[in-house]
A and B are shown apart, each in its own frame.
Chain A
Amino acid sequence: MKPARFAYEAPTTLEGALKSLAAAGDGGKVIAGGQSLAPMLNMRLARPDRLIDINAITELGEIAIDGDQLSIGALVRHDALAHSELVKRHCPLLAHAAETIGHYAIRKRGTIGGSLAHADPAAQLPLVALALDAEMDIRSARGSRVVAARDFFVSVFSTALDPDELLVKVKIPLLPAGGSAGFRLFNRRAGDFAIVSVAATLLRGSDDKIAGLRLAIGGIGPVPVRAEHLAVREASEPFSEHWSARVAATVAGAIDIEENERAPVAFRKELVAALTREALDEALEKACCGS
């Protein structure tokens, strides 16, 4: 339970970190909050030659409005996300989801960039990034690029990041007027990774129909998936007390769920139906209350 030997450096500028990453090649690993990486190091599931600690790069810890997007630095910690007024106002789904991550001490250290780059298939932030059409702002000594959330998560613990690249910011479109969101997860113990989780955003139209629906579901495959296309017809029906249950049942019936060792497929299908309905109900309730 002790990590293998590694070299360590803590650059204080983004340029310095990018240079270090480029020099370290495949043997380098970025550490931010360390709440996922340190356990892997301690158990020697990861054995990098060199740790590049980005905690001293203060510019990576900022939250700001940038045009019609909320820009969130990679070093913003889960607890700060959950309590930031900007995040609560413009991306309430993100604040809500961040509050459900791990435990208090974990949320005080863990970062949004770390969670996204780690890409645990059961984690909250990849799911929410996918639901909110987040854009990943990626830098390296070679240049910069932007990758959409749906292209960023490649597989279990695997992203579009190259070894010399650093996720520096996440950009999320602001919640539009009339927009609302809901989030649900199921786990057996508080703080555990979710067995299934669902994030939904709604945009109410001027009539009694929705103008926009996004659904993302985690815990059913190697990466979270979008699912609103599975229930287009049901979602376009006028609101009634059965609207969310119908959408949820259709999505649960059509969605592909991979076998895993954590919970049977049939159980997770029921969870998809129940959690989707609850997430939609939460979004509907918030839409009609205007919060």
Chain B
Amino acid sequence: MLRIMSELDPVPLVLNINGATHRLFAEPRRLLSDVLREDCVLTGLHIGCEHGVCGACTVLFDGAPARACLMYAVQAQGHEITTVEAFGASGELSVVQQALHEEHGLQCGFCTPGIVVTMEAWLAEHPNPTEAEIRDALSGNLCRCTGYHNIVAAIVKAAARRREANAT
């Protein structure tokens, strides 16, 4: 039996992740990114910089993109967390995933989960973006392989597909 000795020790947490309930114990200092990967075995998000710069660990927090490395798991209680595993879970790639695939918008793939999560949310808010706006939005996700060209092309394509889908 785990006994709580002090407020610094692990505390019981109930987290809602991708619609499923996860029960676990974690110290208050544990990063949401670590708890998602290590305790919940949701290893889709990647941990790059651990100080909010690279964007690889981005998840949705109540629908809005957030760096999982700048949150503590204890803060996520009572909120809905969505990780990249939720996109394409039906077996069919999401709009952004499909466009990244077609446009060769990834090479090593380390940054890709953060880009998928961020851009799915961003496109929902910005259905009609210019290429410059797309580049600005992508500036929060570091990619060291592609030079961004193909990622930008993929997001342009994804935005057009979303518009088509919403028009019909």
Q: Provide the residues of chain B in CB contact with A6, threshold 8 Å.
A: 8, 28-29
Are A1 and B140 CB-contacts (below 8 A) given A34-B70, A108-B65? no
User: Which of these, B7, B52, B65, B70, contacts A8 with CB under 8 Å?
Assistant: B7
- As a 0/1 sequence over residues 36 to 61 of chain B, the CB contacts with chain A under 8 angstroms (1 = contact) are 00000000000000111001001001
The answer on a CB contact under 8 Å between B31 and A190 is no
B113-168 with Cβ < 8 A to chain A:
118, 122, 135-137, 139-141
Q: Provide the residues of chain B in CB contact with A212, threshold 8 Å.
A: none
User: Which of these, B7, B11, B70, contacts A35 with CB under 8 Å?
Assistant: B70
A35: min CB distance to chain B, Å:
6
- Give Cα distance in the complex from A41 to B52, angstroms: 12
Asked if B95 lies at the interface with its beta carbon under 8 angstroms from chain A, I say no
Q: Provide the residues of chain A in CB contact with B141, threshold 8 Å.
A: 103
The answer on a CB contact under 8 Å between A38 and B66 is no
Are A106 and B140 CB-contacts (below 8 A) given A8-B7, A8-B28? yes
User: Which of these, A1, A108, A109, contacts B50 with CB under 8 Å?
Assistant: A1
The answer on a CB contact under 8 Å between B8 and A109 is no
Among B29, B50, B70, max chain A CB count under 10 A is at B70
Q: Provide the residues of chain B in CB contact with A51, threshold 8 Å.
A: 28, 72
Asked if B69 lies at the interface with its beta carbon under 8 angstroms from chain A, I say yes
The answer on a CB contact under 8 Å between A109 and B69 is no
Q: Provide the residues of chain A in CB contact with B137, threshold 8 Å.
A: 103-104
Are A105 and B50 CB-contacts (below 8 A) given A2-B31, A3-B29, A7-B8? no
Q: Provide the residues of chain B in CB contact with A39, threshold 8 Å.
A: 51-52, 70
Interface band, chain A: 20 to 34
Asked if A191 lies at the interface with its beta carbon under 8 angstroms from chain B, I say yes
A7: min CB distance to chain B, Å:
4
Asked if A270 lies at the interface with its beta carbon under 8 angstroms from chain B, I say no
Asked if A53 lies at the interface with its beta carbon under 8 angstroms from chain B, I say yes
The answer on a CB contact under 8 Å between B7 and A34 is no
- Give Cα distance in the complex from A2 to B29, angstroms: 8
The answer on a CB contact under 8 Å between A104 and B140 is yes
Asked if A42 lies at the interface with its beta carbon under 8 angstroms from chain B, I say yes
A40: min CB distance to chain B, Å:
9
Chain B residue with the shortest CB-CB distance to A34:
B70
The answer on a CB contact under 8 Å between A105 and B65 is yes
Chain A residue with the shortest CB-CB distance to B118:
A105
Chain A residue with the shortest CB-CB distance to B7:
A7
The answer on a CB contact under 8 Å between B139 and A103 is yes
Interface of A with B (CB < 8 Å)? 1-8, 10, 31, 34-35, 38-39, 41-43, 50-51, 53, 55, 79, 102-106, 108-109, 189-191
- 25 pairs across A/B with beta carbons < 8 Å? A2-B31, A2-B50, A5-B28, A7-B8, A7-B28, A8-B28, A8-B75, A31-B75, A34-B70, A35-B70, A38-B52, A38-B69, A38-B70, A38-B71, A39-B51, A41-B29, A79-B64, A102-B140, A103-B139, A103-B140, A105-B55, A105-B65, A109-B67, A109-B70, A190-B136
